């Protein structure tokens, strides 16, 4: 375990922001992680996974611990289901492809989401009608304060839309080291209700739908709309889709009858932030190297050398414009640090 000093984080965050860590260490096992957490080199510890859901606006004055613990293991299986464990440092999409290659179903709708397995529960990643919580059994984590290990069941995690206990009450307190999933070997529960998926399956001329086909459709859709962080720095959806009360929605809809929406419950409605941002005139706009993606207004992009502060200024301007035009607050989905 080698601790580096004044280490550039440019290749460790998908926005490609060139801030510096005061100290940096990559850990390959749970015991190395505990050792790093106990290190006296700096009182503050900063945990980094795939760096796909954060906007770094300043240098990180801490020991940055890069969780690079790898491994995938089948825990148990029967005729119809399999329980599989993946360590936190596994790349999420590669893990999804691995499960599909085994013929297992469950994670196909979550294909091509950037980031690592260990950070997926923090924001309960979700796409096309499936969220991580629907497939997770439990996760293991190590306490930052004293290195003790704890298992969290799905209900312990207090999952919500892009939300969990790890973003709230336990923020910064635990490092997730492994996640256990229950997947299907037969009788897969397929989610094809999103129009974009149905259209893509039709384009691909798929009739007998298997999980792999849904994954291929999701990959094609995401490639059309979402930029590849290797080519254009970004962090996926930058904002959450706002959820407003039915009463507020009724007023909104009278003014903007063309707006897309989804009913969340009898009392709440979700409005796509991408639509609001596009209507506010930001889609495809560029301010220096900080910009809004041309195919999906919910995604902020770094065209090269944008700083975290420039991207954050853009985000604040977008929030203010959406608030002024629609009276709706949009909040970041990514962690702004």
- The residues that are catalytic are 162, 237, 333
Q: How far is the CB of 127 from ligand EPU (least distance, A)?
A: 4
Determine the Cα–Cα distance for residues 215 and 199; give it in Å rounded to an integer: 14
Residues near ligand EPU (CB under 6 A): 127-128, 225-226, 236-237, 240-241, 260, 272, 274-275, 278, 283, 296-298, 333
Determine the Cα–Cα distance for residues 124 and 116; give it in Å rounded to an integer: 12
Q: How far is the CB of 120 from ligand EPU (least distance, A)?
A: 11
Q: In sequence order, which residues have a C-beta less than 8 Å from that of residue 289 and are 6 or more positions away?
A: 302, 303, 304, 305, 306, 310
Choose between 188 and 283: whose C-beta lies nearer to ligand EPU: 283
Q: How far is the CB of 327 from ligand EPU (least distance, A)?
A: 18
Choose between 34 and 270: whose C-beta lies nearer to ligand EPU: 270
How far is residue 287 from each of residues 160, 311, 322, measured CA to CA in Å?
Answer: 34, 9, 18
Q: How far is the CB of 112 from ligand EPU (least distance, A)?
A: 9
Q: How far is the CB of 298 from ligand EPU (least distance, A)?
A: 5
How far is residue 184 from each of residues 137, 202, 254, measured CA to CA in Å?
Answer: 13, 24, 44
Q: What are phi and psi of 113, to 5 degrees?
A: -80, 125
How far is residue 41 from each of residues 44, 119, 144, 148, 256, measured CA to CA in Å?
Answer: 9, 25, 15, 20, 55
Choose between 21 and 97: whose C-beta lies nearer to ligand EPU: 97
Determine the Cα–Cα distance for residues 104 and 242; give it in Å rounded to an integer: 33
Q: Which of 19, 53, 49, 23 is nearest to 36 (CA)?
A: 23
Choose between 297 and 311: whose C-beta lies nearer to ligand EPU: 297
* Residue 96 in tokens: 């999804």
How far is residue 35 from each of residues 21, 149, 332, measured CA to CA in Å?
Answer: 18, 13, 33
Choose between 59 and 278: whose C-beta lies nearer to ligand EPU: 278
Choose between 233 and 274: whose C-beta lies nearer to ligand EPU: 274
Q: How far is the CB of 164 from ligand EPU (least distance, A)?
A: 14
Choose between 139 and 297: whose C-beta lies nearer to ligand EPU: 297
Tally of CB atoms within 10 A around 298: 25
Q: How far is the CB of 226 from ligand EPU (least distance, A)?
A: 6
Q: In sequence order, which residues have a C-beta less than 8 Å from that of residue 134 and are 6 or more positions away?
A: none
How far is residue 104 from each of residues 101, 134, 182, measured CA to CA in Å?
Answer: 7, 15, 10
Determine the Cα–Cα distance for residues 180 and 75; give it in Å rounded to an integer: 9
């Amino acid at each position: 375990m080698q601790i580096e000093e004044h280490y550039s984080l440019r290749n460790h965050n998908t926005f490609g922001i060139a801030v510096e860590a005061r100290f940096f260490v990559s850990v390959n096992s749970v015991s190395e992680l505990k050792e790093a957490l106990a290190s006296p080199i700096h009182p503050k510890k900063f945990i980094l996974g795939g760096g796909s859901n954060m906007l770094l606006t300043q240098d990180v004055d801490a020991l940055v611990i890069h969780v690079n613990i790898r491994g995938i293991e089948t825990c148990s299986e029967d005729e119809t289901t399999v329980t599989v464990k993946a360590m936190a440092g596994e790349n999420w999409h590669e893990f999804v492809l691995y499960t599909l290659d085994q013929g297992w179903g469950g994670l196909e709708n979550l294909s091509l989401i950037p980031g690592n397995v260990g950070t997926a529960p923090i924001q309960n990643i979700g796409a096309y009608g499936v969220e991580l919580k629907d497939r997770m059994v439990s996760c293991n984590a190590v306490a930052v304060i004293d290195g003790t290990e704890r298992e969290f069941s799905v209900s312990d995690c207090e999952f919500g839309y892009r939300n969990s206990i790890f973003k709230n009450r336990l923020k910064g307190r635990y490092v997730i080291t492994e996640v256990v999933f229950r997947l299907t070997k037969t009788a897969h529960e397929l989610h094809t209700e999103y129009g974009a998926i149905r259209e893509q399956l039709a384009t691909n001329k798929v009739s007998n739908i298997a999980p792999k086909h849904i994954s291929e459709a999701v990959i094609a859709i995401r490639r059309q709309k979402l930029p590849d962080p290797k080519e254009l720095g970004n962090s996926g959806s930058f904002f959450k889709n706002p959820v407003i009360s039915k009463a507020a929605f009724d007023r909104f809809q009278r003014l903007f009858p063309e707006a897309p929406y989804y009913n969340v419950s009898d009392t709440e409605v979700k409005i796509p932030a991408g639509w609001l941002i596009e209507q506010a005139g930001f889609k495809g706009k560029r301010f220096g190297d900080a910009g809004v993606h041309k195919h999906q207004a919910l995604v902020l992009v770094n065209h090269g050398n944008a700083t975290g502060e420039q991207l954050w200024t853009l985000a604040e301007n977008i929030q203010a414009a959406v608030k002024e035009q629609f009276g709706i607050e949009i909040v970041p989905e990514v962690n702004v640090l």
